[in-house]
Structure 1
Amino acid sequence: MSVTTRLPITDGKAVRRYVGQVAHRHPRLLWTALGLHVLAALTALAAPRLLGGLVESVENGTTRSHVDEIVMWLALFLVLQSVLTRYARYRSQVMGELVLAELREDFVANTLALPVGIVEAAGSGDLLTRTGSDIDQLGWSVRWALPEWTIAVVSAILTFAAALSVGWWVFLPCLLAMPPLVVGLRWYLARAKDGYLAETASYSQITTTLSETVEGSRTVEALGLGAKRVELCDDDCAKSFEAEKYTLHLRTVFFPSMELSYLLPVVGTLLFGGWLYTRGEVSLAEVTTATLYVQMLIDPVDRIVSILDELQLGAASLARLLGVAQVPDDREVSGRTPSSEKLDADDVRFSYVEGRDVLHGIDLDVGVGERIAMVGPSGAGKSTLGRLLAGIHPPRTGAVTVGDVGLVELPLGDLRGHVALVTQEHHVFVGTLRENVVLARPGSSDDAVRDALGAVDALEWVDLLPAGLDTVVGSGGRAVTAAQAQQIALARLVLADPHTLVLDEATSLIDPRAARHLERSLAAVLEGRTVIAIAHRLFSAHDADRVAVVEDGLIAEFGSHDDLVAAGGSYAALWESWHGKG
């Protein structure tokens, strides 16, 4: 299994600060919803008063018309409460959807801004879990849990205040619930956050293992690693089971203890209120009203406690989503402008794992408009060097510059105008062919798109599409071959028009004859531009101005094809082997 580095998770202070910022951005929505919740809770408080008075009037003797009047008032307050609650929830959900949309946009922006090296080190599983289950959990919390919890808190506060308005003595029975509530909440909250974070992290690990197994299925099958991968999945599931078992234990201890604490105030109010009534210190209406208010407290307090579990899950998901923004940038923009398009690497060293360099002090000067081929055995460091020359990774030591300005000193938008990387990995997005190509330069005309496709010899099959540039491709659309998808990726690059191209085996999925034809067409279009081609097919090297032979993280040889063949070194051996002369 590959070694992965998890993306950071923000702390509770940052989560609270974000919630505060959300409230500050939407004060009108927030206070409107809160005001409606308060009014709805106030209307609910009328019923115990009316029923308390009704009980006492029945004891003292009353009329049918008086009872009818009380019932009408009860019905009126009930209807009013229903209307206010409906609009309060509506406003809360509108705010929730708005906040959730903003959070998603921020998360997407932060994810797209992640350094590529960090994404690769973290693996796909962590990001997939955050974009999937964490977003879903937070959506549930924002749409349902938070509005319901707000209603419960407002109702509990106002109901408790109404109960105290009956008389000071109601406070004493309510005190009976405080010790088990406080102890239970402190015990639960001290353990819940870490428990739920561990639970969601276990989901990420399961997703990582499964995605790695699926993506590398051919390798797994070829090397007979199926049993090992199943064992890894079983281990991940076992850890997830233990994490869920722990959070379930928290709930099975916490919630039953809370249920007991709810009953104590009701029993205490009846007993204490009845004792005071026998002494003539309170009326029957006051005992009845107080008991009903304390009984009313059970529902909002129970919802506060129950929904707290959902909010813990939501807070854990929010912490993971906000954590993406805490990844440090791998570039420090200096504001300097390159004086030319000359690309240089000076004593460049780089490591994926601390203490284990894969590049060992590489020096390379690339002339403006020059075509350089990088060849060498697999694992020698060609692709890594190419990524550094494209500004994907910053070097550990040394510098990679364009016009004497470090690539990591340039904003990404400016960097891609100077140098761009195209690899054998490519993606066709769901949308029209036109939309796929103009990703490199939004707003480009159809003529520019066709010119870019023509530059990579793609017009022959594009013109056969049923709707031409308007044909929908990608998942669910018209299927394109691997070679066609690669041509689309290259057409984007032509349209982006960078001065320097780093091609990392960009034509590896096209058959050799088509690949050579494509490379020649691309070379013609990019005449006068700098091209660094990383390839295992040596005809690319033959066509290049100079060839860099990379071995064990060093440039072992560097010169023209003819000079290197004449030198009789590593490149000459590779060339002879390529032509079957070795």
Structure 2
Amino acid sequence: MSVIGVEGEDREHLSKEERRHLRRRSFALLRSLLHPVRGTVALTAAVVVISSAAQVAGPALIAYGIDAGLPALLRNDWLPLGLAVGAYIATGVLGAVLIAWYTVLTARVSQAILIDLRRRIFLHTQKLSLEFHENYTSGRIIARQTSDLDAIKELLNSGLNQLVQGGLYMLFVGVAMFIVDWVSGLVLLASIVPLAVLTRWFQLKSERLFRRTRVASARLIVQFVETMTGIRAVKAFRKERRNDDEFAEQVEEYRSANAKVIGAFGTYEPGLILIGNLALAAVLLIGGFRVVDGSLAIGVLLAALLYTRNFYAPAEDMAMFYNSYQSASAALEKISGVLEELPGVPDPADPEPLGHPAGHLEFDSVTFAYTPARVVLPQFSLDIPAGQTIALVGTTGAGKSTLAKLISRFYDPSEGAVRLDGVDLRRLKPDDLRRAIVMVTQEAYLFSGSVADNIALGKPGASMEEITDAAKAVGAHDFIVALPDGYDTDVNKRGGRVSSGQRQLLSFARAFLADPAVLILDEATASLDIPSERLVQRGLQTLLADRTAIIIAHRLSTVAIADRVLVMEHGRIVEDGAPDDLIAGDGRFARLHSAWRDSLV
């Protein structure tokens, strides 16, 4: 089951089998996270069992001190009372020490799990194909790494402690109650019935409400991230007022969801207190009559009252655990869904070595569709000899960028094959593929760090001389040395900001440094002004020599350096020839070129 389309409120409409699948998937992920720390988990379990038993011993020791120690003290025998007091202090110290140790152990387990899970999400989302990232918004991915992990962290750090300590404590108190006085134990057992009914009601109601709060929280994060990411468009189109209204609606939905959760707790917690007080009153009433008729010692009655009160003390903590559990359960479902996603372009099980690539590309009867109803390339065939520079032109939606994505193996063909030097791209190791084929797009992204670091992405470990030569080749050297710290300038710090055209020049420098067999330029000069474009074209002619190049451009000035022009329409090649030959004709490229020249005038 894909996580795409199974988010948020859509889960409310899942079938029972689908819900069971989600739970199985979540528990499988949890088991895999616990496996590396299973030894620490086992030690933690042993510590909490012993510490709970030590804490529960207190009321029984008090009963012994009253019923055996006080009469002995009247006979000047201090030993029974001394033993009771000593044992009480010893169990108290032992319980405190073990609880401290338990806290440290649980912190280690939770941190190990969270680090493992955070790393898995980061590594896995990088491995997923472009298709996933085009369908799964950045805000939702950020929510997986932030609010969802925070929910799991809260469960591990506090909620799990409440469950384990509270559950064991209640169990041991119940057992101790029957050992001390079975009649009072039956009264306590009877009080569990209304407690179970109330807790079940709260579980059913809060499960839906907590899921609603998670959905509302995720929507808030998505709204914020998308607004900040697209802040330029927000400013340009004066969308602030609409964003305010939309964000206010999201905040109100989040407030309303949390208010209903608080309302559920407002019923559950007083109900717990009422049931606990009624149980305590019943034990006192029945025990009082038994003390009067001599069938129950006063110390045992006191122990029974303490056990009854202590039994309900963790109940509220258990309710708070359910709060954490519901949030973490919903978060774990979403995270496990992301981790269940498979790459659309999987690595080959038995890769074929590439060697030193020449750059011969071939599309063999390729059909490609983003969706069954959206066929972009119908039975497409094309042969690009090694070392040839191809220019792809055509109207928007003709399939030019799709060809580039298939060559870069961002997607695989629905049918047919794309080959490099006779080898199907699906048979190549990712490292060989990325070494042989490099794409430069219009969106030139710069990472945090220096200018030199960003250029060196094309060849990790490159020398400063190589980086400088690459920058000079594309005409970026002059503006780089004019920056405050030259090549050491941090591109994200004050004074290190660069324009969109300069970012594009840096991306060209990366490609120069990578020295691929196949270079794809997808609207890569669109951000450059005319003088910069001419400067880059001189550098491109040097770079494109003796290598295969695919240039996708609407600005036909870039096409002039191509050996061959392909005009595409609706996923098919409608014209193919040298630039000068097509310009001299009366076909589509000639008309496009004429319109472009007229636009310059």
How many Å separate the matches in 2 of 1:209 and 1:395?
Answer: 34
Q: 1:328 to 1:514 in 2, by over 3 A?
A: same
Range that drifts further, 154-163 or 557-566: 154-163
TM normalised by structure 1 equals: 0.88
Matched residue type, 1:540? T
95-104 vs 561-570, which moves further? 561-570
* 1:440 positional shift: 4.2
Q: How far apart, in 1, do the equivalents of 2:593 and 2:157 lie? A: 64
Match of 2:420 in 1: 402
| 2:151 paired residue number | 137
Indicate yes or no: 2:67 matched with 1:49.
no
Per the alignment, in what secondary structure is the counterpart of residue 352 of structure 2? coil
Distance in 2 (alpha carbons) for counterparts of 1:444 and 1:161: 70
Query: How far off its partner does 1:37 sit?
Result: 2.3
Q: Distance in 1 between matches of 2:247 and 2:368?
A: 32
User: Matched residues in 1 for 2:522 and 2:344: separation?
Assistant: 22
Shift of 1:544: 0.6
Contact 1:173 1:264 in 2 (8 A): no
**1:313 is aligned to 2:324:** no
Helix, strand or coil for the counterpart of 2:460? coil
Whether the 8 Å contact between 1:564 and 1:572 is mirrored in structure 2 is: yes
1:511 is aligned to 2:525: no
Moved more, 342-351 or 498-507: 342-351
Shift of 1:194: 4.9
Distance in 1 (alpha carbons) for counterparts of 2:281 and 2:271: 16
Match of 2:352 in 1: 337
Structure 2 counterparts to residues 19-30 of structure 1, below 5 A: 19-30=30-41
Residue 34, structure 1, aligned to residue 45, structure 2: yes
Secondary structure of 2:557's counterpart equals helix
Q: Is 2:145 aligned against 1:146?
A: no
CA contact (8 A) 2:398 2:569 kept: yes
Q: CA deviation at 1:309?
A: 0.9
Distance in 2 between residues matched to 1:222 and 1:523, nearest whole Å: 37
Structure 1 residue 423: deviation in Å? 1.2
CA distance in 2, matches of 1:499, 1:168: 84
Correspondent of 1:389 among 401, 407, 424: 407
State the match for 2:128 in structure 1: 114
Q: Does 1:296 align with 2:310?
A: yes
Matched, 1:428 2:446: yes
The alpha-carbon deviation at position 264 of structure 1 amounts to 3.9
1:344 touches 1:401 (CA, 8 Å); kept in 2? yes
Shift in alpha-carbon separation, 1:180–1:382, aligned structure 2, 3 A: farther
Matched, 1:416 2:434: yes
Tell me, which stretches of 5 or more residues in structure 2 are unaligned?
12-20
1:158 alignment counterpart? 172
Q: 2:592 aligns with which of 569, 574, 578?
A: 574
Q: Which amino acid aligns with 1:442?
A: P
Aligned mates of 1:264, 1:125 — CA distance in 2? 49
Equivalent residue for 2:574? Answer: 556
CA spacing shift, 1:311–1:576, aligned 2, 3 Å: same
Between 1:438-447 and 1:4-13, the stretch displaced more is 4-13
Distance 1:369 1:245 in 2: 66
1:177 maps onto 2:177 in alignment:
no
Counterpart code for 1:335: D
* Change in CA separation of 1:477 and 1:105 when aligned onto 2, cut-off 3 Å: farther
Aligned mates of 2:205, 2:545 — CA distance in 1: 64
Aligned to 2:134, the other structure's residue is in SS state helix
Q: How well do the aligned residues superpose, as a CA RMSD in angstroms?
A: 3.3
Give the aligned partner of residue 508 of structure 2: 490
Q: Residue 33 of structure 2 contacts residue 117 of structure 2 at CA under 8 Å; is this kept in 1?
A: no
Query: Deviation at 1:292?
Result: 1.1
Q: For residue 117 of structure 2, what is the aligned residue in structure 1?
A: 103
Report what 1:371 is aligned to: 389
Aligned-residue offset at 1:287: 1.7
Cα shift at 1:324: 1.0
Distance in 1, matches of 2:414 and 2:241, equals: 38
Kept after mapping to 1: 8 A contact 2:490/2:496: yes
Report if aligned partners of 1:7, 1:324 keep a CA contact under 8 Å in 2: no
**Structure 2 Cα separation of the partners of residues 226 and 569 of structure 1:** 47
Distance 2:520 2:212 in 1: 41
* In 1: Cα distance, 2:278 partner to 2:458 partner: 67
Q: Which is further off, 467-476 or 486-495?
A: 467-476
Instruction: Output the amino acid matched with 1:443.
Output: G
Q: CA deviation at 1:110?
A: 1.1
1:499 matched to 2:517: yes
Alignment of 1:183-222 (within 5 A): 183-190=197-204, 192-216=206-230
Return closer, same or farther for 1:107/1:71 CA change in 2, 3 Å cut-off. Answer: same
Q: CA distance change for structure 1 residues 558 and 201 in 2, over 3 Å: closer, same or farther?
A: farther
Aligned mates of 1:318, 1:422 — CA distance in 2: 37
**2 CA distance for matches of 1:222 and 1:302?**
52
Q: Secondary structure at the match of 1:176?
A: helix
Match of 1:282 in 2: 296
Q: Secondary structure at the match of 1:177?
A: helix
- Is the 8 Å Cα contact of residues 363 and 381 (structure 2) preserved in structure 1? yes
Residue number in structure 2 paired with 1:541: 559
Structure 1 stretch 522-531 or stretch 256-265: which is displaced more?
A: 256-265
Q: For residue 95 of structure 2, what is the aligned residue in structure 1? A: 81
Q: What SS does the corresponding residue of 1:498 show, helix, strand or coil?
A: coil
* Matching residue within 16, 22, 29 for 1:18: 29
Other-structure match for 2:546: 528
Give me the whole-angstrom Cα distance separating, in 2, the residues matched to 1:188 and 1:295. 22
Instruction: Report the Cα offset of residue 88 of structure 1.
Output: 1.5
TM-score by length of 2: 0.86
For 2:60 and 2:107, the matched residues in 1 are separated by 31
**Distance (whole Å) between structure 2 residues aligned to residue 363 and residue 234 of structure 1:** 52
Q: Would you say the 8 A contact 1:432–1:469 is kept in 2? A: yes
**Which runs of 5 or more structure 1 residues have no equivalent in the other structure?**
none
Change in Cα spacing, 1:342 to 1:185, as seen in structure 2 (3 Å) is farther
Q: Which residue of 1 aligns with 2:182?
A: 168
User: Counterpart of 1:30 in structure 2: which amino acid?
Assistant: V
